């Protein structure tokens, strides 16, 4: 589910709990979603603490609590946040619940590809400061973009766009959207794009990220009608520009949709 703008939207769902004390934490220590995390420390430190603020970077979220406690959440494929009543009884996939006086904050993740981390300290955890620029920031300049493509010059451009160390928050549908707008076939080898194509892709990357954050991050209104996302899952999907039927194939290891007219190219061994 969640990519950049959707993650931002999910993060805000716990905002009603900001400023209120966590009275009780409910979780099951052995759940896969807590892999690598000291859940006993998590419970011990967060019970009695207050949710202060949160932030999202790419697909990751960081929640700051009083008493120098930090909680990192990645939603994976199926994670979601929500608010329930103070007497909420968790269902099967509600793996983490923070009970407050007036409500509870719930994390649900059926497949548990997501992950919860905990950190105790006066500064943000080391795993949070990874130095990857936000796409909507000035640090995501053309120089960074071009260098990243060079570093992965042998891979299909679709696979490169999905790498979070370069394209923080880009997921499958956003990558397809960017390539469609930039009129680049997803199987093209990253190192063989022309300068003009690179420039276009860089611009479209920022545009799609900015728009997604603005539109999806603030409420659940829909993306513009002429975006590819509305067509890409249907077997009868067509190009929003001229109604050419879309093609679908696995490229870069992921299901990919593209317009054969706007993005000419063919799926070869090297392009997958």
Partner DNA sequence: ACCCCTGTTCGGCG
Partner DNA sequence: CCGCCGAACAGGGG
Quick check: 153 binds DNA (CB under 7 A)?
Answer: yes
197's enclosing H/E stretch is helix 195-218
Task: Please count the other Cβ atoms lying within 10 Å of the Cβ belonging to residue 122.
Answer: 5
Instruction: Say how far apart CA 245 and CA 72 lie, in whole Å.
Output: 41
At closest approach, how far in Å is the CB of 148 from DNA?
11
Binding segment for DNA (CB under 7 A), chosen from 132-140, 158-166, 192-200, 219-227, is: 158-166
Quick check: 265 binds DNA (CB under 7 A)?
Answer: no
Quick check: 162 binds DNA (CB under 7 A)?
Answer: yes
Within a 13 Å sphere around the CA of 17, how many CA atoms are in the beta-carbon half?
A: 29
Q: Which of 26, 151, 199, 230 touches DNA by CB under 7 A?
A: 151
Cα distance from N-terminal residue to C-terminal residue, the chain: 23
At closest approach, how far in Å is the CB of 110 from DNA?
4
Instruction: Say how far apart CA 200 and CA 181 lie, in whole Å.
Output: 9
Question: x/- binding map, residues 96-135, to DNA, per CB under 7 A?
Answer: --------------xxxx----------------------
**How many residues of this chain bind DNA (CB under 7 A)?**
36
2 is catalytic: yes
Quick check: 95 binds DNA (CB under 7 A)?
Answer: no
Window 203 to 232, contacts with DNA (CB under 7 A): none
Q: Which of 6, 10, 94, 177 touches DNA by CB under 7 A?
A: 6
Quick check: 77 binds DNA (CB under 7 A)?
Answer: yes
Tokens of 143: 């120089």
Give the active site residue among 11, 57, 59, 206. Answer: 59
Instruction: Say how far apart CA 150 and CA 74 lie, in whole Å.
Output: 28
6 is catalytic: no
Q: Helix H segments across the chain?
A: 4-12, 39-46, 142-151, 157-161, 172-181, 195-218
16 is catalytic: no
Instruction: Say how far apart CA 99 and CA 46 lie, in whole Å.
Output: 11
Q: Tell how strand 51-57 and strand 247-251 pair up.
A: unpaired
Burial of 196 (0-12, 13-18, 19+ CB in 10 A): exposed
Question: x/- binding map, residues 28-67, to DNA, per CB under 7 A?
Answer: ----x--------------------------x--------
Burial of 191 (0-12, 13-18, 19+ CB in 10 A): middle
Query: Which residues does the annotation mark as catalytic?
Result: 2-3, 59, 254
Would you tell me which residues interact with DNA (CB under 7 A)?
Answer: 1-3, 6, 32, 59, 74, 76-78, 92-93, 110-113, 151-156, 159, 162, 164, 171-173, 190, 233, 252-255, 270, 272
């Amino acid at each position: 589910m969640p990519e950049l703008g959707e993650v931002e939207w999910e993060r805000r769902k716990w905002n009603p709990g900001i400023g209120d004390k966590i009275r009780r934490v409910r979780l099951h220590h052995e759940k896969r979603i807590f892999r690598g995390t000291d859940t006993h420390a998590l419970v011990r430190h967060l019970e009695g603490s207050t949710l202060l603020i949160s932030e999202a970077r790419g697909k990751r979220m960081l929640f700051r609590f009083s008493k120098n406690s930090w909680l990192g959440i990645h939603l994976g494929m199926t994670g979601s946040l929500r608010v329930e009543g103070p007497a909420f009884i968790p269902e099967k996939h509600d793996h983490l619940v923070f009970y407050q006086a007036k409500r509870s904050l719930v994390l649900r993740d059926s497949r548990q590809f997501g992950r919860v981390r905990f950190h105790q300290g006066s500064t943000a955890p080391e795993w949070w400061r990874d130095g990857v620029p936000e796409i909507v920031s000035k640090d995501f300049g053309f120089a960074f973009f071009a260098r990243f493509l060079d570093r992965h010059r042998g891979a299909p451009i679709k696979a490169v766009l999905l790498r979070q160390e370069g394209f923080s928050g880009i997921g499958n549908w956003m990558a397809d959207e960017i390539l469609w707008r930039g009129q680049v076939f997803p199987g093209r080898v990253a190192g063989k794009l022309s300068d003009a194509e690179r420039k276009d892709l860089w611009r479209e990357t920022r545009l799609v990220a900015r728009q997604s954050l603005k539109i999806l991050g603030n409420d659940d209104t829909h993306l513009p009608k002429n975006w590819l996302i509305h067509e890409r899952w249907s077997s009868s999907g067509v190009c929003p520009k001229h109604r050419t039927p879309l093609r679908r194939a696995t490229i870069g290891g992921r299901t990919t949709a593209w317009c054969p007219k706007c993005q000419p190219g063919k799926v070869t061994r090297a392009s997958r």
